[in-house]
């Protein structure tokens, strides 16, 4: 007589060290092998899109801060240029530059958290704290500019809340000088660590066609070898003025599109962001930042879709205006939400430890998934 | 020590009791020091300060933590098997404590002067597996169960390379007694087993590389046996929350903690006895040169503690530097690499000792 066996259902989350927030994964396990993963979301749902309908256009900006709270600047960025597009506002040069500088600093900060917590998921505690130490410098710069460290409400429709602090440019340059050697240190400590490579190479391989079918964007898509970055492919703001490369996954340590590639693309992107920063700091023009601020934000009837390259991927805002002070509808296409959808495909047949590695490599922020 | 105490007190039971309690006098301060050291070492590795509030630079932090832990409510999960759930932490602690009975702290103090010390240590370290398995199963929690099963597989597997290395050392020294083994590596550091033992012959030079291999294998496998990173599968906090100790709180959790730190020192001391002369000083005794014989045991205690603590610090250093291996990779390291190498090493050391 054969013994009756059944799969073990394990609830990972919503309170679990590695779910990066309040995500619940319903995992079907056979021994330590993952049979099926079902993500349950919504624990952090705050009705952002519905709230936005009752707010005036500028009042929506603080809500966008609270979506991907590790990349608030970039969420502001996407929303304000969507509204500006709707209203046909041209912002001054200086504003454009400051926005790019803030956006790229934010990208570095967001990737720092992604890489640090990824190391943490794999048991390496130290790189996490090194990266947070460096992230602190970026947050200090944000704080001296707009007074907030996490939720900025910095970019306004047609301008910015504050001009740069007089020390800002010097600090930003110092940061670049300071952080470049630290990337080398990170690489030596974690990226090229034998155990780390063993844990991540050939794990959770995402082929390019699957990635495209699922609508994956951002570093995850590029790690699969697809050269797609909205800063170059559907350029916005003044990104076409800068010289930078799009790193793609090449399977240095394993297969193209494995966890190691997804990790390494982010490391390389931090370097590219610093290149953009250097150029932007050099070219930063003088001028009044508030000259284009509209008296009243009342866009004409119409719709707009604006997408930007958030650190996590393609962040899209679809706004319908009925000509009143409030938007009729604000729909957000969140990159983390879409990227998470592929987790079942990625982790099937892997061990439970790999599931954690894969989840970490997706780099989700629950604030944006649940909105 | 026991004989001395029997004479002193005139009662065997009291003597045995005192003799058995003596390691506690060592373990508890060591754990207090060890936990603080772990936090301070990790903090300084990670470019931060660590505990700073309780006492000067946080030296009393562990004491404060201890008082916090004994005040905690003792929670037992509803579906838990109460009997085994309560028993498990103590069993784990017994496993780590019992090892101290056979460790020669100095030439005059050893808990039990048994001739089969090494054999005894290998045997009692199995207690921990039973305790962990018991705790994991009785918790009635899936994470605990995973942690316990992993731990059982891991500790049992890594006992094989440990035993093989110890066997080769037994072949070399011809004794299972840790006291005798320490005794043999006397005088200067080149007499330590890692440098081929005290016997002067051409085989000593031949032995040195194989001794280093044996040492590294033993160190790695003891690291796995005490569940320290990079082999902390059973606890793997990013996967299994806290493994077998997930459901434990308060003093029961502290028992696991105590056992872990007790174990860390025990295996470090074992490694130092087998390869680094145990309590022997690397360059003669001050007591001998000054003519103060009473000083020697204290010097020996100092060296014994120093060597043990040094290996504990290496364990901490590794923990805060390396990521964690995966559970199947852990088994691969053991079965495909450590066991064949330790086996080959055993044969080679055997051949050399025959020469």
The answer to whether residue B205 scores a pLDDT higher than 80 is: no
Closest CA in chain B for residue A358: B239
CATH of A51-370, one of 1.10.645.10, 3.40.30.10, 3.30.390.10, 1.10.150.110: 1.10.645.10
B327–A130: do the CB atoms touch at under 8 Å? no
- At residue A318, what are phi and psi to the nearest 5 degrees? -110, 115
The DSSP output letter for A191 is I
Q: For tokens 């098997």, name the residue.
A: B81
pLDDT in tens, A89-120: 888 888 889 999 999 999 999 999 999 988 88
Question: Confidence band (pLDDT; 50, 70, 90) for B163?
Answer: confident
The answer to whether residue B6 scores a pLDDT higher than 80 is: no
Count of all residues that appear for chain B in the document: 355
- CB burial of A35-46 (b: ≥16 within 10 Å; e: otherwise) equals bebebebebbee
pLDDT of residue B59: 83
pLDDT in tens, A25-55: 888 888 778 888 888 888 888 888 888 888 8
Q: For tokens 């900060």, name the residue.
A: A109
Beta-carbon pairs below 8 A across chains A and B: 73
B321–A126: do the CB atoms touch at under 8 Å? yes
B326–A120: do the CB atoms touch at under 8 Å? no
Contacts of residue A351 in chain B, CB cutoff 8 Å?
Answer: 326-328
The answer to whether residue B109 scores a pLDDT higher than 80 is: no
Closest CA in chain A for residue B141: A10
Copy the structure tokens of residue B117: 């010390």
The answer to whether residue B3 scores a pLDDT higher than 70 is: no
B232–A123: do the CB atoms touch at under 8 Å? yes
The DSSP output letter for B59 is T
Residue boundaries of the structural domains of chain A: 51-370
Q: For tokens 């020996």, name the residue.
A: B300
The whole-chain average pLDDT of chain A stands at: 88
Contacts of residue A352 in chain B, CB cutoff 8 Å?
Answer: 146, 239
Please tell me the distance in Å from A198's CA to the nearest CA on chain B: 8
Residue A241: cis peptide before it, omega within 30 degrees of 0:
no
Question: Confidence band (pLDDT; 50, 70, 90) for B352?
Answer: confident
Handedness of CA A358, A359, A360, A365 (dihedral sign): positive
pLDDT of residue A356: 87
Handedness of CA B324, B98, B311, B43 (dihedral sign): positive
pLDDT of residue B2: 63
**From A121, A130, A195, residue closest to B230, measured CB to CB:** A195
pLDDT of residue A7: 79
Alpha carbon distances (Å) from A163 to A64, A168, B97? 21, 10, 65
Beta-carbon contacts of A279 under 8 Å, excluding residues fewer than 6 positions away, are A241, A242, A243
Contacts of residue B142 in chain A, CB cutoff 8 Å?
Answer: 8, 10
The answer to whether residue B176 scores a pLDDT higher than 70 is: yes
d(CA B90, CA B131): 8
d(CA A94, CA A280): 10
Contacts of residue A193 in chain B, CB cutoff 8 Å?
Answer: 322-323
pLDDT of residue A318: 92
The DSSP output letter for A187 is I
Please tell me the distance in Å from B154's CA to the nearest CA on chain A: 15
Please tell me the distance in Å from A47's CA to the nearest CA on chain B: 30
pLDDT in tens, B230-264: 777 767 666 777 777 787 887 888 888 888 888 88
pLDDT in tens, B86-101: 888 888 888 888 888 8
- Going by C-alpha positions, the residue among B155, B100, B161, B160 that lies closest to residue B132 is B155
d(CA B172, CA B178): 13
Concatenated DSSP letters of A341-355 = TTHHHHHTTSBHHHH
Please tell me the distance in Å from A185's CA to the nearest CA on chain B: 13
B328–A124: do the CB atoms touch at under 8 Å? no
A124–B146: do the CB atoms touch at under 8 Å? no
Helix H or strand E segment including A314: strand A313-321
User: Which alpha helices (DSSP H) does chain A contain, by range?
Assistant: 48-53, 57-65, 72-87, 93-121, 126-146, 168-186, 194-200, 208-214, 219-223, 230-233, 259-283, 335-340, 343-347, 352-362, 366-370
**From B46, B229, B326, residue closest to A351, measured CB to CB:** B326
This prediction has a pTM of: 0.84
The answer to whether residue A343 scores a pLDDT higher than 80 is: yes
d(CA A25, CA B267): 39
Beta-carbon contacts of B25 under 8 Å, excluding residues fewer than 6 positions away, are none
């Amino acid at each position: 007589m054969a013994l009756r066996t059944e799969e073990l259902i394990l609830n990972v989350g919503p309170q679990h060290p590695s779910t990066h927030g309040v995500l619940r994964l319903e995992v079907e396990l056979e021994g330590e092998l993952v049979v099926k993963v079902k993500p349950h979301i919504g624990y952090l749902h705050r009705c952002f899109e519905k709230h936005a309908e009752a707010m005036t256009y500028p009042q929506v900006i603080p809500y966008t801060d609270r979506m991907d709270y590790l990349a608030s600047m970039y969420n502001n960025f996407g929303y304000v240029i969507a509204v500006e597009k709707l209203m046909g506002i041209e912002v001054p040069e200086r504003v454009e530059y400051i926005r790019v500088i803030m956006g790229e600093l934010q990208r570095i900060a967001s990737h720092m958290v992604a890489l640090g917590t990824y190391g943490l998921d794999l048991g390496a505690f130290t790189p996490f704290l090194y990266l947070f130490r460096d992230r602190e410098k970026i947050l200090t710069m944000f704080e001296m500019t707009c007074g907030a460290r996490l939720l900025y409400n910095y970019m306004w429709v047609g301008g910015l809340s504050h001009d740069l602090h007089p020390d800002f440019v010097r600090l930003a340059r110092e940061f670049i000088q300071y952080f470049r050697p630290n990337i080398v240190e990170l690489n030596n400590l974690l990226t090229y660590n034998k155990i780390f490579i063993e844990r991540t190479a050939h794990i959770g391989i995402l082929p390019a066609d699957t990635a495209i079918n699922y609508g994956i964007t951002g570093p995850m898509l590029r790690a699969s070898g697809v050269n797609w970055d909205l800063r170059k492919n559907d350029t916005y703001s003044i990104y076409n003025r800068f010289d930078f490369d799009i790193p793609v996954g090449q399977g240095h340590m394993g297969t193209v599109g494995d966890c190691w590639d997804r990790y390494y693309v982010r490391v390389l992107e931090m370097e590219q962001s610093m290149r953009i920063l250097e150029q932007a700091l050099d070219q930063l023009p003088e001028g009044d930042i508030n000259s284009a601020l509209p008296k009243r934000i009342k866009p004409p009837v119409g719709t707009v879709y604006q997408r930007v390259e958030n650190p996590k991927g393609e962040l899209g805002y679809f706004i319908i205006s009925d000509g009143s002070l409030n938007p009729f509808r604000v729909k957000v296409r969140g990159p983390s939400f879409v990227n998470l959808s592929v987790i079942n495909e990625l982790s099937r047949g892997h061990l439970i430890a790999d599931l954690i590695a894969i989840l970490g490599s997706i780099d989700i922020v629950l604030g944006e998934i649940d909105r | 020590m026991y004989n001395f105490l029997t004479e002193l007190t005139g009662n065997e039971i009291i003597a045995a009791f005192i003799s058995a309690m003596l390691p506690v006098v060592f373990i508890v301060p060591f754990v207090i020091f060890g936990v603080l050291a772990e936090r301070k070492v990790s903090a300084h590795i990670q470019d931060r300060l660590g505990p700073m509030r309780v006492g000067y630079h946080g030296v009393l932090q562990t004491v404060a933590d201890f008082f916090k832990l004994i005040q905690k409510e003792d929670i037992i999960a509803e579906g838990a098997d109460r009997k085994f759930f309560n028993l498990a932490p103590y069993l784990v602690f017994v496993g780590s404590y019992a090892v101290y009975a056979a460790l020669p702290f100095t030439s005059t103090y050893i808990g039990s002067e048994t001739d089969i010390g090494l054999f005894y240590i290998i045997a009692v370290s199995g207690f921990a597996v039973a305790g962990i398995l018991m705790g994991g199963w009785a918790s009635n929690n899936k994470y605990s169960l995973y942690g316990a099963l992993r731990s059982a597989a891991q500790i049992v597997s890594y006992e094989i390379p440990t035993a093989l290395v110890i066997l080769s050392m037994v072949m070399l020294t011809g004794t299972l007694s840790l006291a005798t083994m320490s005794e043999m590596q006397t005088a200067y550091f080149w007499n330590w087993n890692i440098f081929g033992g005290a016997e002067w012959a051409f085989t000593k030079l031949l032995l040195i590389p194989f001794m280093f291999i044996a040492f590294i294998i033993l160190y790695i496998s003891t690291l796995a046996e005490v569940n320290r990173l990079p082999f902390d599968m059973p606890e793997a906090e990013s996967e299994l929350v806290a493994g077998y100790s997930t459901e434990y709180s308060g003093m029961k959790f502290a028992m696991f903690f105590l056992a872990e730190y007790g174990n860390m020192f025990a295996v470090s001391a074992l490694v130092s006895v087998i390869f680094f002369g145990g309590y022997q000083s690397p360059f003669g005794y001050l007591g001998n040169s000054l003519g103060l014989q009473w000083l020697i045991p204290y010097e020996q205690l100092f060296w014994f503690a120093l060597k043990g603590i040094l290996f504990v610090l290496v364990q901490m250093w590794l923990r805060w530097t390396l990521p964690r291996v995966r559970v199947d990779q852990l088994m691969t390291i053991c079965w495909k690499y450590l066991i064949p190498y330790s086996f080959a090493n055993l044969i080679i050391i055997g051949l050399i000792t025959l020469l």
